A = this chain, B = another copy of it.
Amino acid sequence: MDSPQDSDTSQALTHPLAESQRIPRRALLKGVAALAALGSVNVSGVIGATDAGDKAVAKTEKLDLKKGAVIVFQGDSITDAGRKKNDGMAWTDSGALGNGYPAMAAGQLLADYPDRELQVINRGVSGNKVPDLAARWQADAIDLKPTILSILVGINDLWHTIAFGSKYKGTVADYETGYRDLLQQTRDKVPGVELVVCEPFTLRDWPAFDPYRAVARKLADEMKLTFVPLQQVFSDAAKTAPNPFWLWDGIHPTPAGHALLLQAWRRVVGV
Interface set of A (CB-CB < 8 Å, partner B): 1-9, 11-15, 23, 28-29, 31-43, 76-77, 81-82, 91-95, 97, 99-100, 103-104, 106-108, 110-111, 114-115, 120, 126-127, 155-156, 159, 163-164, 237, 240-242, 244-245, 248-249, 251-252, 254-260, 263
Instruction: Find A240's partner among B7, B91, B108, B114 (CB 8 Å cutoff).
Output: B114
Q: Report the minimal beta-carbon distance from A79 to chain B, rounded to whole angstroms.
A: 12
Q: Report the Cα distance A103→B29, complex, angstroms.
A: 21
Residues in chain B near residue A110, CB distance under 8 A: 245, 254-256, 259
Give every chain B residue within 8 A of A242 (Cβ-Cβ). Answer: 15
- Which B residues touch A42, using CB under 8 A? 11-12
Whether B111 and A82, one on each chain, are in contact in the complex, defined by CB atoms closer than 8 angstroms, is no
Choose one: B39, B244, B248; the contact of A8 (CB below 8 Å): B39
Closest-by-CB residue of B relative to A116 is: B241
Q: Which of B8, B23, B32 meets A29, CB within 8 Å?
A: B32
Q: Which of B7, B94, B114 contacts A33 (CB 8 A)?
A: B7
Q: Do A38 and B104 have beta carbons less than 8 Å apart?
A: no
A99 is contacted by which of B95, B108, B258 (Cβ under 8 Å)? B95
A81 to B12, CA, bound (A): 16
Q: When the two chains form the complex, which single residue of B15, B29, B107, B254 contacts A255, counting CB atoms closer than 8 Å?
A: B107
**In angstroms, how far is the closest chain B Cβ from the Cβ of A111?**
4
**In the complex, chain B residues whose CB is within 8 Å of the CB of A14:** 43, 244
| Number of copies of chain A assembled together | 2
Establish whether residues A241 and B115, one from each chain, have CB atoms under 8 Å apart when the complex forms: yes
Q: A107-B258, A244-B15, A244-B92 are in contact. Are A3 and B40 (CB under 8 A)?
A: yes
Is B35's CB under 8 angstroms from A114's CB?
Answer: no
Question: Who on chain B is nearest to A156 by CB?
Answer: B1
Q: Nearest Cβ in chain B — how far from A112, in angstroms?
A: 8
A77 to B97 CA separation, bound complex (whole angstroms): 18
Which chain B residues border A31 with CB–CB below 8 Å? 32
State in angstroms the CA–CA spacing of A34 and B108 once bound together: 24
In the bound complex, CA of A93 to CA of B103 (Å) = 15
* 12 A-B pairs with C-beta separation under 8 A: A1-B41, A1-B127, A2-B77, A2-B126, A9-B36, A91-B254, A91-B255, A92-B254, A99-B99, A107-B258, A110-B259, A120-B255
